[in-house]
């Protein structure tokens, strides 16, 4: 019975460690280590001035906490399948250190941003999305699912602004400005949006995606601010319409055998 209890407690501890890791942000100065072979990790971390503090395992995955005295910084590395999957900033306490500084001061999701630029939410764990959006003055209007992606529409009444947040694998992948109508607001805001299109002017490049694997191209379009609005498949061909509401661009992709065969401007997004 004691062995079973210990096993349960150990599994629970690893579970909460995993949840804690998801809530943290990527360490930018160590981003080059991601996808590196794990056998080189120790030397690279030491070359960057880090000393190993602790190691824990969850199944075949390994988590290590590292401390840099020069930076007064704690990070956690995640290794799976022989590769480094992530290097995340974690609180100093995870490395056995104490500090009077608020961890959020060094967090990727700066609390000095009060609703303007939302791009620093990319990479945020979905568990923290609601509180962060509300703190910045947004309220959720609706949530839609498209394949493996979730799209949430958020409205900021002070800014009269609607944004679409794309979530995949419980992580924010993109934050895109959309028309106020997408947040259920009346025509006067839509008129304001349309009358100020010069503010959203500018064209985004997309022709370079021709020949790409379709799924990779779709993800790249979303990273560039496009949002899929329509899809049609026939005779082994898949057509998708994409809209960028900031630049008012509408484009169409044609994929054949999971490759982008054509990508061109369209006038049929509306």
Beta strands in 119-202 (DSSP E): 138-146, 149-156, 161-168, 171-178
Extract the tokens encoding 259.
């490759």
Q: Distance from first CA to last CA of the chain, Å, rounded?
A: 64
**Residue 147 or residue 141, greater confidence:** 141
CB–CB of 190/171 below 8 Å?
Answer: no
Alpha helices per DSSP H over 29-172? 41-47, 129-135
Residue 176 has a pLDDT of 77
CA distance 264 to 240: 11
- Position 15 scores a pLDDT of 46
Helix (H, G, I), strand (E, B) or coil at 180: helix
Return the closest-CA partner of residue 140 out of 128, 153, 151, 127.
153
pLDDT of 267 above 50: yes
What gap in Å lies between CA 47 and CA 191, rounded to an integer? Answer: 56
**Tens of pLDDT, residues 220-235:** 888 788 888 888 888 8
Is the pLDDT at 189 greater than 70, yes or no?
no
Comparing CA positions, the residue from 21, 26, 75, 24 lying closest to residue 48 is 75
pLDDT above 90 covers a percentage of the chain that reads 11
Per-residue pLDDT at 254 exceeds 80: yes
- Count CB neighbours of 173 within 10 A: 16
94-101 contacts at long range (C-beta below 8 A, 24 or more positions apart): 94/20, 94/53, 94/65, 95/53, 95/54, 95/65, 95/66, 95/67, 96/53, 96/54, 96/67, 97/67, 97/72, 99/72
- Mean confidence (pLDDT) of the chain: 75
CA 44 and chain centroid, separation: 26
- For residue 86, give the nearest of 15, 160, 36, 148 by alpha carbon: 36
In a 3-state reduction of DSSP, which class is residue 31?
A: helix
Per-residue pLDDT band for 116 (boundaries 50, 70, 90) equals low
State residue 83 phi and psi, 5-degree precision. -125, 150
Which of 92-106, 156-170, 201-215 has the lowest average pLDDT? 92-106
Q: Is pLDDT above 50 for 256?
A: yes
The secondary structure element, H or E, covering residue 255 is: strand 249-256
- Check residues 262 and 130 and name the one with the higher pLDDT: 262
Q: CA gyration radius for the chain?
A: 22
Percentage of the chain surpassing pLDDT 70?
75
pLDDT in the model for residue 105: 36
Q: What is the pLDDT of residue 108?
A: 43
Q: Average pLDDT, stretch 72-99?
A: 81
Provide the pLDDT for residue 7.
53
Average confidence (pLDDT) over 104-130: 60
Contact 163, 177 (CB under 8 A): yes
């Amino acid at each position: 019975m004691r062995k079973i209890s210990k096993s349960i407690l150990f599994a629970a501890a690893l579970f909460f460690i995993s949840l804690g890791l998801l809530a943290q942000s990527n360490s930018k100065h160590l981003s080059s280590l991601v996808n590196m072979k794990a056998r080189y990790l120790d030397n690279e971390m030491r070359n960057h001035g880090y000393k190993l503090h602790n190691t824990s395992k969850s199944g075949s995955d390994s988590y290590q906490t590292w401390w840099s005295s020069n930076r007064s910084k704690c990070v956690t590395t995640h290794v799976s399948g022989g590769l480094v999957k992530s290097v995340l900033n974690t609180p100093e306490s995870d490395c056995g250190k104490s500090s009077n500084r608020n961890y959020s001061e060094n967090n990727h999701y700066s609390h000095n941003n009060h609703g303007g630029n939302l791009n620093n939410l990319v990479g945020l764990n979905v568990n923290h999305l609601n509180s962060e959006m509300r703190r910045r003055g947004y309220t959720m209007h609706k949530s839609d699912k498209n394949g493996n992606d979730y799209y949430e529409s958020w409205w900021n009444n002070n800014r009269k602004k609607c944004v679409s947040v794309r979530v995949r694998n419980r992580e924010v992948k993109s934050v895109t400005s959309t028309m106020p109508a997408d947040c259920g607001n009346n025509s006067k805001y839509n008129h304001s949006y349309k009358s100020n299109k010069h503010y959203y002017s500018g064209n985004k490049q997309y022709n370079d995606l021709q020949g790409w694997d379709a799924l990779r191209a779709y993800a790249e379009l979303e990273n560039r601010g496009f949002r899929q609005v329509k899809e049609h498949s026939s005779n082994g061909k898949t057509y998708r319409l994409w809209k960028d509401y900031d630049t008012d661009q509408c484009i169409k992709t044609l994929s054949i055998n999971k490759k982008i065969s054509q990508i061109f401007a369209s006038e049929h997004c509306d």
